[in-house]
Amino acid sequence: MKTPDDMPLLTGYDRLKSARYNKGTAFTEAERDEYKLCGLLPAKVSTLKEQELRALENLRRKVSDIERYVFLLALQGRNENLFYRLLIDNIEAIMPLLYTPTVGQACQEYAFIFRQPRGFYVTPADRGRVRDIMRNWPEQDVRLIVVTDGERILGLGDLGANGMGIPIGKLALYTACAGIQPRLCMPVMLDVGTNNEALRNDPLYLGINQPRLTGDDYCSLVDEFVSAVQDAFPRALIQFEDFLTPNAYSLLDRYRDRVPCFNDDIQGTAAVAHAGVLASGRITGVDLVDMRIMFLGAGSAATGIADLIYTALRNAGLNDQAARQHLWLVDLHGLLVTGRENIAPYNLPYAHDVPDATLSEAIRRYKPHVLIGATGVSGTFTEDIVRMMAEINERPVIFALSNPTSNAECTAEQAYRWSEGRVVFASGSPFAPVTFQGKTYRPGQGNNAYVFPGLGLGAIASRAHTISDDMLLVAARILAATVGTDDLAAGAIYPPLARIRQVSLAIAVAVAEKAWEEGVAQEQRPEDVECMIRELMYEPGY
């Protein structure tokens, strides 16, 4: 591993304390001489594989998932290559520890488990000097930023500065799943306060202790942050993550045509869900243009999915009115209908001119083929709801997308049992395989990690100056196409996570090609796009 020309040679404990350059017991005898490490390490020169086995054994000895999470972050801060090698080689076991569902608990307890500074914080006190403090970031070439303000962390609500766990986890997945170099990544927390009284009364809370910034004060600080990024890191793609729905939409609308950016909760979730819907049609035999899709929940996730599927239906030749007839949203007040007061602007296109209805009434009347839950509330898909879907469909399609696992609208076991094993099921957080009447089903996990890493890699490779809906649609189509017949036979509408780097590469190539096709790419198109992107992908090793 070469040291950059602009970085002084690290020796002794300085090298052992550098996550990027530390190899621990894997330093060779020659390297121990060169870097003045003799006497500072045990005699045995380990292989990376031996270090990985040692780390796995240590991970298994932890008694709870939150302890495993703390161990993994400590490893990331100590030996970057070993951390990513471990994650890539054991992605199915470790992703749930590093991200959903464990990251939810990690964010709730972030102030308590805080060990080592990681990420970049912007507060109202930094107003007028955000660009100046960005000079403190140790990297000068940032290509990817995940930013949150912590107001809507998963389904857990306002966690303030504790939400930093989300950008950290997302960027680890960008590296593991799509090979984006860790040094190109920057997690950001816009610490604008919190309205969570329990946090503000907690003496260990690490964020600013004040109510949330709102209105023009909030918008101007975000504006300054985005402008600072454009100045400091002009090639950076910004991913907005876990903002409250009104802010999520307003920020996306404000910046999507001005800077390279996207909102994962709106657009990433949409692409993953759309891919699942497309793949489900290979099981049910129902084409997208013939599907009726009903959503329980009308926030950023549900509306984002509806928006993308609407675009797909329009692209398939349906007019506006016909496309809207395929999409039905139900919130806590019932079916979205015209005449209801205080409908959010982003929901208005989905208000139908029909009588009001509860979820069960709407299912009875409009007979959806697909039911998608994005409520953040567990148990909302009751036995009656699942059985009703199974009555009107030979193979009902049910997505319980809310995170973490404790917030899922129903469990995989419930969905299979209540539907007599006929459901096509997907969830936001992982569920173990379910055996029902002698057959084992593998529930699909509609994890955004199937899309956002490849989307980001393709955008970075092509230097796309905007993320278009057609990029999201092509990402969804590629993901759906990677689902094999063996996966479908087991009831899974997403490929195994073990194949995620191949999936991300395929998505990145398609997204980059779309950027060149649409004329939004700033990078010159190479003769072999896949080869160029493959060469960009980080492969951890010594």
Domain match, 152 and 291 both:
no
Q: Could you tell me if 325 and 406 lie in one domain?
A: yes
Q: What is the pLDDT of residue 155?
A: 83
**Is 264 a member of any domain?**
no
Instruction: Tell me which residue has tokens 């509609």.
Output: 446
Pull the structure tokens for residue 463: 């230097």
What are 60's two structure tokens? 């298994």
Q: Is 412 inside a domain boundary?
A: yes
CATH number of the domain within which 372 lies: 3.40.50.720
pLDDT tens digit at each of 542 positions of the chain? 344 444 568 999 999 999 999 999 999 999 999 999 999 999 999 999 999 999 999 999 999 999 999 999 999 999 999 999 999 999 999 999 999 899 999 999 999 999 999 999 999 999 999 999 999 999 999 999 999 999 999 889 999 999 999 999 999 999 999 999 999 999 999 999 999 999 999 999 999 999 999 999 999 999 999 999 999 999 999 999 999 999 999 999 999 999 999 999 999 999 999 999 999 999 999 999 999 999 999 999 999 999 999 999 999 999 999 999 999 999 999 999 998 998 999 999 999 999 999 999 999 999 999 999 999 899 999 999 999 999 999 999 999 999 888 899 999 999 999 999 999 999 998 999 999 999 999 999 999 999 999 999 999 999 999 999 999 999 999 999 999 999 999 999 999 999 999 999 999 999 999 999 999 999 999 999 999 999 999 999 99
Is residue 102 included in any domain, yes or no? no
Given the residues 35, 69, 84, 99, select the one marked as catalytic.
Answer: 99
How far apart CA 129 and CA 437 sit, in angstroms, is: 63
Per-residue model confidence (pLDDT) at position 452: 98
| Domain count for the chain | 4
The verdict on residue 505 lying in a domain is: yes
Asked if residue 80 is part of any domain, the answer here is no
CATH number of the domain to which 531 belongs: 3.40.50.10380
pLDDT of residue 404: 86
Among 447, 482, 499, the domain boundary falls at 447
3-state secondary structure 336-351: CECCCCCCCCCCHHHC
Residues 6+ apart with CB under 8 A from 533: 457, 458, 461, 505, 508, 509, 512
Residues 443 and 500 occupy one common structural domain? no
Q: What is the pLDDT of residue 391?
A: 98
Say if residue 404 is in the same domain as residue 392.
yes
For the record, the structure tokens of 333 come out as 């007040």
Same domain, 137 and 235: yes
Same-domain pairing of 374 and 343: yes
Q: Look at residues 447, 466, 481 and tell me which one is the last residue of a structural domain.
A: 447
Closest CA to 402 of 271, 268, 296: 296
Active site residue 170: yes
| Same domain assignment for residues 432 and 463 | no
**Domain that includes residue 459, residue range:** 450-536
- The token duo for 75 is 């490893």
Cβ 522 vs Cβ 478: under 8 Å: no
What is the reported pLDDT for 7? 52
* Residue that terminates a domain, selected from 383, 418, 447: 447
Please tell me the predicted confidence (pLDDT) of residue 429: 87
Is 138 inside any structural domain?
Answer: yes
Residues 301 and 395 in one domain: yes
Confirm whether 2 is a catalytic residue. no
Q: Tokens representing 11?
A: 């020796």
Do 296 and 437 belong together in one domain?
yes
Do residues 302 and 314 both lie within one domain? Answer: yes
Confirm whether 56 is domain-assigned. Answer: no
**Which amino acid is present at 468?**
S
500 contact partners, CB below 8 Å, separation of at least 6 = 91, 177, 449, 450, 453
| pTM exceeds 0.85, yes or no | yes
Do 404 and 309 share a structural domain? yes
Catalytic residue among 69, 170, 205, 514: 170
Q: For residue 71, tell me if it sits in a domain.
A: no
Judgement on whether residues 224 and 341 belong to the same structural domain of the protein: no
pLDDT at 8: 61
Residues 6+ apart with CB under 8 A from 471: 455, 458, 459, 464, 511, 514, 515
Q: Tell me if 522 sits within 8 A of 143, measured CB to CB.
A: no
